[in-house]
Chains A and B, each alone.
Chain A
Amino acid sequence: MPNQAPSAHNDADKLLPPDQAPEAKPVRHHPIVRVTHWLAFPLLFLMMASGLQIYRAYPSFGERGATPYPNPVGAVAFPEWTRLGGWLAGGINWHFFLMWPLILVGFSYFVYLLFSGEWQKLVFRPRDVRPAFQMTRYYLRLRREHPAQGKHNALQKAAYTFILLLGVLAVASGFAIWKPVQLSWLVGLLGGFQSARYWHFWTVWLFAGFTIVHVILVFAVDPTSLLAMTTGRYRGRFTSDEA
């Protein structure tokens, strides 16, 4: 028993074997994480749909008269059901309406990560490089035992850190496109107005790619994590050093 006198409730939990006290398992995902996760999903989806509508107005990148940037998507006619708004003004209105709740959701999550200390379990740092290689070897069956990990393994950390940075890039490039003169410093950072459009465009496909892989892994590896993201409590087969 530690001397710092933790609450009686916590002490009681520790006296019971975990399998007899499932309720005692700590909450895996804080309510802020769960709420922001499930709000971000539809918001991001609708932002992409309205973004495709806007893209349709000028599906090219680069200054007028200059060589266009490479664009494998090009002037593909996205079917109507993938677009939101019906015409350019409608797409703009949806996009500029939904951007505020999405920014708020992202901002709330960032603030939570920062002040809860949760970022230490999630952000990929130099110390995660070695475990990332170990984890890769494990997945490739070149290594037998699962490397030790915290809440997330090193590859998960890399993926989640990437998506955090992608969110920052999406917002930054979005504002750069919206106010290229007032925020000309931001446009400069992104390499110019057309380049900012280009970045913004690529964040869409990276988000889409991430989401597909993310969902496949959830169902292929551990569907109980879907419940954990909803109820907060994890009842799956994977153990980790932490909740």
Chain B
Amino acid sequence: MRRDEQRAIEQKNSRAFIQRRDFLAASAAGLLSGCDWAGERALRRPMMAASRFNDWVSARLFSASRLAPKYDASQRSTSFPNYFISGMTPTLADPSAWRLEIGGLVHTPMLLSIDELRSLARLTYTVKHHCVEGWSAIATWTGTPLRAVAERAGLAREARFVRFDSFDNGYYNGWDLPSALHPETILAWGFNDRDLMPDHGAPVRLYAPHKLGYKLTKYLTRITFLAERPGGYWEDQGYPWFAGV
């Protein structure tokens, strides 16, 4: 297995990204890369403990009320990369049949159509997107605050985490509840004054300016409130779990 092939994360276009997906999944077994050096095995435990510690520090640094810096629409980036893990852009056979399932530790489980979701509440902001790779880009997002959905469904007291599932080949993410209920965490259906495009996660994707891009689940199908911490597609392979910015 050649590490050089692991440029996946560096690739700017999703096609190349996908070609490397299988390699990445394989290398997932080694969170710290190949095991050429025996010391890495010994260090995996302290390193994962450090990653947990960093999640804890990140949660302490996270403010449930601090809002992200805003930009003017004129400052939008002229390009905005798009990623998905499927071989082709995930699309729905019948968009009108799409429902967002809200379940888990809620008093009222729900199935929301896109129109029902849009009618709940709406928030638009122009913010900077931060990718784990190091790039950043400014765009305008419009969506329904997740908080409004959670209030409608009524959270059980034991709910502490949220799991977001997608129809992108099993891609999913796990979030801490405070980040999920932040006023700027939205279920986005609008991008730069237009309906969200399939490349960016249509019909609805998770968006928040306070998380790294890989935490922002696209092609949403289900939101589940949980008592235990869920993993995530990249998180299970070694990427930081909290990933707040």
Residues on A close to B: CB < 8 A?
Answer: 54-60, 63-66, 80, 85-90, 92-94, 96-97, 100, 177-184, 193-194, 197
Contact = CB atoms under 8 A, between A and B. Distances in A.
Contacts of B9: 57, 87-88
B61 A65 contact: no
24 contacts: A57-B132, A58-B134, A60-B135, A63-B136, A64-B78, A64-B135, A64-B137, A65-B79, A86-B3, A88-B9, A90-B30, A90-B33, A92-B240, A94-B47, A96-B54, A96-B240, A97-B46, A100-B50, A179-B244, A180-B130, A181-B68, A181-B209, A181-B245, A194-B136
Contacts of A178: 245
Contacts of B66: 181-182
Contact of B130 (A100, A183, A193): A193
Contacts of B3: 80, 86-87
B62 interface: yes
Nearest to B60: A182
Contacts of A93: 31-32, 47-48, 50-51, 238
B215 interface: no
Contact of B134 (A54, A66, A90, A94): A54
Given A63-B138, A96-B50, A86 B130 contact: no
A119 B218 CA distance: 53
Contacts of B63: 182
B220 interface: no
Nearest to B50: A97
Among the interface residues A88, A96, A183, which one has the most CB atoms of the partner chain B within 10 A? A88
B210 interface: yes
Contacts of A64: 77-81, 135-137
Contacts of A96: 50-51, 54, 240
Interface of B: 3-4, 6, 9-10, 24, 27, 30-34, 46-48, 50-51, 53-54, 58, 61-63, 66, 68-69, 77-81, 128, 130-138, 209-210, 234, 237-240, 244-245
A contact patch SS: helix
Contacts of B244: 179, 181-182
A58 B137 contact: no
A22 B47 CA distance: 45
B74 to A, nearest CB: 13
B32 A86 contact: yes
B123 to A, nearest CB: 16
Nearest to A56: B10
A97 B51 contact: yes
B208 to A, nearest CB: 9
A193 B31 contact: no
Contact of A97 (B47, B80, B138, B245): B47
B78 A65 contact: yes
B32 A85 contact: yes
B33 A87 contact: yes
A182 B210 contact: yes
Contact of A193 (B27, B128, B132): B128
Interface centre among A59, A60, A180 (most CB of B within 10 A): A180
A27 B192 CA distance: 65
A94 B32 contact: yes
Given A92-B240, A181-B68, A66 B77 contact: yes
A98 to B, nearest CB: 9
Contacts of B61: 179, 182-183
A100 B48 CA distance: 14
A183 to B, nearest CB: 7
A194 B129 CA distance: 12
A86 B34 CA distance: 7
Given A86-B33, A89-B237, A181 B78 contact: no
Contacts of A87: 3, 6, 9, 24, 27, 33
B64 to A, nearest CB: 11
Contacts of A56: 10
B195 to A, nearest CB: 22
A57 B234 contact: no
